[in-house]
Amino acid sequence: MLPKLPYWPKIATTLLLCLCITAQAQEDSTNYALRKKVLIGGNAIAYTSLMTGLYSLWYKDYPLEGFHFFNDNKEWLQMDKVGHSFSCYYEGVAGIEMMKWAGYSKKQYSLIGGSYGFLIQTSVEVLDGFSAGWGASMGDLAANTIGSGLAIYQSLAWDEQRVWMKYAYSHSPYARIRPNALGSSVPERMLKDYNGQTYWLSANISSFLKEYTKWPKWLNIAAGYGTDGMVGGHDNTYESEGIQYDRTDILRSRQFYLSPDIDLTCFKTKRKGIRTLLIMANCIKIPMPTLEYQTNDGLKGHWLHF
């Protein structure tokens, strides 16, 4: 089985958020009919370009076969699945904001805009399903559904995101052991090295309690999940360039975190472009004091942790 492309969802998320910023920056017009045309045309171009580019850069050099599934649910201690949910969530948030800007109704921008990520990533699962080197993953589809569902539910229920998914990265020593899979440069490692990544659910406490509390509106409580010690998917044995490697001396572990966080979207602005920049920046977990439980080492604290 060839390695899947683990970093493309984050690239797609970045492109979609940039499109969202470009659209919302056009604040001088309230012509919603024109905005809808700009939105539809821009999304059609972006989606076509993304799928065409992805196929040309990744899939065209590998043979095709009948559509099929494969089970990768036990790989990478499920960090890749959490990454799928994160990407789908933010693509959904971007879709909601763009459709809201274009004047669609709450139901429309919640259901259709919130499904952007599911549409994009499911399209890639279809490409995987027809490729002889891969296969569509039911685990990926489930993760995509969870991420999109989180964005859609909150938009329908509260017309705002009260629980945000967030991403953080800190350097890990394992990418240099297997750079072709985990990245040979810092940008690649941020996208591909699951050992250095942490994904968070960051809840805005004030938004749930409203007038019943003096809790600061910008102060969130976040729970995170990370992993460590992984140089292979299922375990730490792998093959590279025809050579079999055994690094079972490296212990794999799961990490669970609890930390305060900052909700950047609580800093109000009348400029929609600035608001969208705050939404984009809000996908990053702010370094804060953190409590960590690691399955190998137990409980410990950090004065600052990403």
Bridge partners (DSSP) listed for residue 255: 226, 294
Q: How many CA atoms lie within 13 A of 2 on its CB side?
A: 15
What type of residue is 203?
A
The per-residue pLDDT for 278 is: 85
Question: How many helices and strands in the chain, by DSSP H and E?
Answer: 10, 8
The per-residue pLDDT for 1 is: 47
The whole-angstrom separation of Cα 222 and Cα 291 is: 11
What type of residue is 99?
M
Q: How many CA atoms lie within 13 A of 176 on its CB side?
A: 3
The whole-angstrom separation of Cα 133 and Cα 171 is: 30
Which of 30, 52, 46 has the alpha carbon at shortest distance from 95? 46
Residue 254: count of CB within 10 angstroms of its CB: 16
The per-residue pLDDT for 14 is: 54
The per-residue pLDDT for 5 is: 53
| Rg of the Cα atoms in the chain | 20
The per-residue pLDDT for 25 is: 52
The per-residue pLDDT for 40 is: 87
H helices of the chain, in order, are 8-24, 32-54, 79-101, 106-111, 116-130, 138-158, 179-182, 186-192, 205-209, 272-281
Residue showing tokens 């890749």: 80
Residue 167 CA, distance from chain mean position: 7
Q: Are 54 and 7 in contact, with CB atoms under 8 Å apart?
A: no
Residue 23: count of CB within 10 angstroms of its CB: 22
Q: Is 60 helix (H, G, I), strand (E, B) or coil?
A: coil
- pLDDT by residue for the chain (306 residues), tens only, comes to 444 555 445 555 555 555 555 555 555 457 888 888 888 888 888 888 888 877 776 677 778 888 889 899 999 999 999 999 999 999 999 899 889 988 999 999 999 999 998 998 888 888 888 887 778 899 999 999 999 999 999 999 999 999 999 999 999 999 999 998 898 889 889 888 999 999 999 999 999 987 777 889 999 999 999 999 999 999 999 988 888 999 999 999 999 999 999 999 888 887 777 877 888 889 999 999 999 999 999 999 999 887
The per-residue pLDDT for 147 is: 96
Residue 52: count of CB within 10 angstroms of its CB: 10
The per-residue pLDDT for 2 is: 45
